[in-house]
Amino acid sequence: MVVFKLSTSSHAVCRYELRGEDFSVVSKFYADPTGWKRKYDHVCAMDEEYKALQSPSCTADVPMPIAAKKEFQCALVTEHTKGKTLYSYVKVEDGLYGRLIDVAELLRKAP
């Protein structure tokens, strides 16, 4: 197994590449936040994202959740989907970051 630590995230995130397989998994560790928001219910956040990922999406390739385990730093394990990250689009596309912030604000204010 080969492990890659991903650096552009609000939490510790690692991709695990299984040798001899054309399959990788990603684990996000909610109990190890690296972003600005550090005080929250880690277990609740892990469970909520797990539930959200179980709903299939028609508009984007969304990784399917495999497991969530609070005893392992609140790890959420998903399949790895190949392609560009949202961060890579934000870096290249002028004005995209501002538009995404506007959409996030609207969603936050929605009932």
Does residue 59 share a domain with residue 13? yes
pLDDT in tens, 3-19: 988 876 788 999 999 88
Higher pLDDT, residue 67 or 84 = 67
Does residue 23 share a domain with residue 35? yes
This prediction has a pTM of: 0.71
At 31, which CATH number? 3.30.200
pLDDT in tens, 29-76: 999 888 777 788 999 999 999 988 887 666 667 788 999 999 999 999
Does residue 96 share a domain with residue 45? no
Neighbours of 70 (CB within 10 A): 13
* pLDDT at residue 84, as a whole number: 75
24, 18 Cβ separation under 8 angstroms: yes
Does residue 66 share a domain with residue 39? yes
Distance CA 77, CA 15 (A): 9
The total domain count for the chain is: 2
Domain boundaries, position 34? 2-80
* pLDDT at residue 55, as a whole number: 77
